[in-house]
Amino acid sequence: MQKSFSLDLLEIGEQATIRQLDSSELPSKFYEMGLLPGTVVEIKHKAPFHGPIGLQISNSNILIAIRKSEALHIFVEK
């Protein structure tokens, strides 16, 4: 199995499975919005100059936007 890395490293169009969220850095709202361990996400958009990242949560077909600084605390595996 591949080692997990932070979500912001994914390119547009890439899919990955969330393994873990750094819970000391992120509020529970991230879970409530559907960014749960085990969820498959696909990067759909990236705003320029390290702006927000738009991702699709594949099991619910919802688009969510988060900041890059938050994506740093979400660890995924391909």
Partner 1 sequence: MGKTSLFNRITKLHQHVGNYPGITVEKREGSVKANGKTYRIIDLPGTYTLFPTSMDEEIVYNVLADKQNPAHPDLVVVVAEPNNIKRSIVLYQQARELGVPAIFVVNMIDEANAKGIDIDYQKLEAYLHTKVYTTDARNGKGIAQLVQAFDERPGYFPGQFEVDSVHKAALAEAKKAFPLHTEYQTWQFIAQENISFLTKEQQQILAGIRERHQLSSNVLQQAEAIKRNKKIEEDLRTIVLQKDNHHLHRTNKIDKVLLHPILGYVIFFFLLFLVFQLVFILSEPIMDWIDENFSALIDYTASVLPEGPLSNLLTQGVLAGIGGIIIFVPQIAILFLLISLMEETGYMSRVVFLMDRWLRPYGLNGKSVIPLMSGVGCAVPAIMAARNIENTKERLVTMLVTPFMTCAARLPIYVVLISLVIPNETFLGFGLQGLVLNLLYILGVVAALLSAAVLNKIIKNQHKSFLIFELPSYKTPDWRNVGMNMWEKTSGFLFQAGKIILAMAIILWVLGNFGPNDKFSNAEDYVQQANPALSEEELDEEVASFRLEHSFLGYMGMGIEPLVKPLGYDWKMGIGLISSFAAREVFVGTMATVYSLGEDVDPDDDEERETLLSRMRSEINRNTGRPSYNLASGISLLLFYAFAMQCMSTIAIMKRETGSWKWTLIQTVMMTGIAYIVAFIAYQLLK
| Footprint on this chain of partner 1 (rule: CB under 8 A) | 21, 23-38, 44-52, 54, 56, 59-67, 70
Nearer to partner 1, 37 or 77 (CB): 37
Nearer to partner 1, 9 or 47 (CB): 47
Nearer to partner 1, 16 or 71 (CB): 71
Q: Whole-number minimum distance, CB 48 to partner 1, in Å?
A: 4
Annotate the chain with DSSP letters as a single string. -PPPEEGGGPPTT-EEEEEEE-TTTS-THHHHTT--TT-EEEEEEE-TTT--EEEEETTTTEEEEE-HHHHTTEEEE-
